[in-house]
């Protein structure tokens, strides 16, 4: 049966009818806000390529988080900038490391805010790679020990969830058993399972000062041309104990989000990354796109693709708009 019996436009005639048949909607509950933390006090350094985003010292970050908590954004994802870097990324698992300090302060001030820690070594190594290097190669198994150690130190400092983003094989299993053996059996793992080797991370590497000093990340992050491989990566992570799996980036990978959701039916997070944010901001600043509409369209599209959780630098502004609409 088709036209004129079928007239799809009938269900678009009014806002109320459109609301009634709407299939997906973005909620503040879906959002995770990434933040950058540095040492010192009173620091707020804007990141040129990411308008609206700063690196904050812990005291200043606490002030910013007041609004995040008020908006009821459920979680933040802090990234740390250490004072010193070395070959083994030792500030990543130091007792007084920047993330450990931030965790203690945040959990004290805002115990109700969920803090998910990105677990990786690239911000802490002097060579900028996500693991231990030997002969210009990122060593898998020796890196696992450091990741497990870092995960335990995050949990001990108050992390509510651990999000490994390094893409070493077997890291979810290694982190799960380290957490379990140290009394953190209830700390969930959100695994960056299908993390692509992407040019969209460019602005983040400026923000987190984590660009590799030689070579690239192609021997550990995924080839953008692949999606069967994403299914295998996700399966491994679930088998090793991941509670939430992630696809990253989003816009060029919407099909991967959908495949993962359909195949596994588990909670799926999608990371709307720095370059995706910067492109929108640049176009909006030039007056080329309607900023609010384009951001809400992107975030709703990520949900429609199958994500339950959207990690985005737009979280704060999107939450403000969603609250205004209530």
Which residue among 107, 149, 195, 303 is the active-site one? 195
- Rounded to the nearest whole angstrom, what is the least distance from the CB of residue 124 to ligand PBG in the complex? 10
- Rounded to the nearest whole angstrom, what is the least distance from the CB of residue 122 to ligand PBG in the complex? 5
- Rounded to the nearest whole angstrom, what is the least distance from the CB of residue 272 to ligand PBG in the complex? 8
By beta-carbon proximity to ligand PBG, the closer residue of 118 and 237 is: 118
Phi, psi of 57 (to 5 degrees): -75, 165
Cα 10 to Cα 7, 17, 237, 250, 287, distances in angstroms: 6, 9, 45, 33, 34
By beta-carbon proximity to ligand PBG, the closer residue of 36 and 184 is: 36
Instruction: Determine the straight-line distance between the first and last CA of the chain, rounded to whole angstroms.
Output: 39
Catalytic (active site) residue 195: yes
Long-range pairs, 18-25, Cβ under 8 A, ≥24: 23/304, 24/300, 24/303, 24/304, 25/300, 25/303
- Could you tell me where the beta strands, DSSP code E, fall in 157-255? 161-164, 190-195, 244-248
By beta-carbon proximity to ligand PBG, the closer residue of 149 and 205 is: 205
Which residues sit at the interface with ligand PBG, rule CB under 6 A? Answer: 118, 120, 122, 130, 165, 201, 204-205, 210, 273-274
- Rounded to the nearest whole angstrom, what is the least distance from the CB of residue 313 to ligand PBG in the complex? 7
Which residue among 248, 261, 281, 303 is the active-site one? 248
- Count of C-beta atoms within a 10 Å radius of residue 182: 15
- The closest residue (CB) to ligand PBG is 204
By beta-carbon proximity to ligand PBG, the closer residue of 195 and 259 is: 195
By beta-carbon proximity to ligand PBG, the closer residue of 153 and 210 is: 210
Reading the block at residue 286, the tokens are 């030039």
Query: Could you tell me which residues come within 8 angstroms of residue 302 by beta carbon, excluding any fewer than 6 positions away?
Result: 250, 254, 257, 270, 272, 310
- Rounded to the nearest whole angstrom, what is the least distance from the CB of residue 129 to ligand PBG in the complex? 9
By beta-carbon proximity to ligand PBG, the closer residue of 116 and 179 is: 116
- Rounded to the nearest whole angstrom, what is the least distance from the CB of residue 175 to ligand PBG in the complex? 15
- Rounded to the nearest whole angstrom, what is the least distance from the CB of residue 12 to ligand PBG in the complex? 36
By beta-carbon proximity to ligand PBG, the closer residue of 30 and 276 is: 276
How far apart (Å, rounded) are the C-alpha atoms in residues 30 and 71?
12
Reading the block at residue 195, the tokens are 């993390």
Report the sign of the C-alpha dihedral through residues 42, 276, 117, 195, in that order.
negative
CB-based burial label for 132 (10 Å; 0-12, 13-18, 19+): buried
Catalytic (active site) residue 248: yes
CB-based burial label for 69 (10 Å; 0-12, 13-18, 19+): middle
Reading the block at residue 267, the tokens are 């909670």
How far apart (Å, rounded) are the C-alpha atoms in residues 264 and 271?
18
Residues acting as catalytic residues:
195, 248
């Amino acid at each position: 049966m088709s036209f004129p019996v079928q007239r799809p436009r009938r269900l678009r005639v009014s806002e109320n009818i459109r609301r009634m048949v709407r299939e997906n909607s973005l909620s503040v509950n879906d959002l995770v806000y990434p933040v950058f933390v540095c040492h010192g006090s009173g620091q707020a350094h804007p990141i040129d390529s990411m308008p609206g985003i700063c690196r904050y010292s812990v005291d200043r970050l606490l002030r910013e988080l007041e609004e995040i908590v008020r908006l009821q954004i459920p979680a933040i994802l802090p990234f740390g900038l250490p004072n010193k870097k070395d070959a083994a990324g030792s500030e990543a698992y130091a007792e007084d490391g920047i993330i450990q300090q931030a965790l203690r302060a945040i959990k004290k001030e805002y115990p109700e805010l969920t803090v998910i820690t990105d677990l990786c070594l690239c911000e802490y190594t002097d060579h900028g790679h996500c693991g231990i290097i030997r002969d210009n190669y990122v060593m898998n198994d020796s890196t696992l020990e450091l990741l497990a150690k870092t995960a335990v130190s995050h949990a001990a400092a108050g992390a509510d969830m651990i999000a490994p983003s390094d893409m070493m094989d077997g890291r979810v299993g290694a982190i799960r058993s380290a957490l379990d053996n140290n009394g953190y059996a209830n700390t969930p793992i959100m695994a960056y399972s299908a993390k692509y080797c992407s040019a969209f991370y460019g602005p983040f590497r400026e923000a987190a000062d984590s660009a590799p000093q030689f070579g690239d990340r192609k021997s550990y992050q995924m080839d953008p041309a692949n999606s069967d491989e994403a299914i295998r990566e996700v399966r491994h992570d679930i088998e090793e104990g991941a509670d939430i799996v992630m696809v990253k980036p989003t816009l060029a990978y919407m099909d991967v989000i959908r495949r993962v959701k359909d195949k596994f039916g588990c909670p799926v997070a999608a990371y709307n990354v720095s370059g995706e944010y910067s492109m929108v901001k640049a176009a909006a600043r030039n007056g080329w796109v309607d900023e609010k509409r384009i951001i809400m369209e992107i975030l709703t599209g990520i949900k429609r693709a199958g994500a339950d959780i959207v990690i985005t630098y737009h979280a704060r502004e999107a939450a403000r708009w969603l609250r205004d609409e209530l």
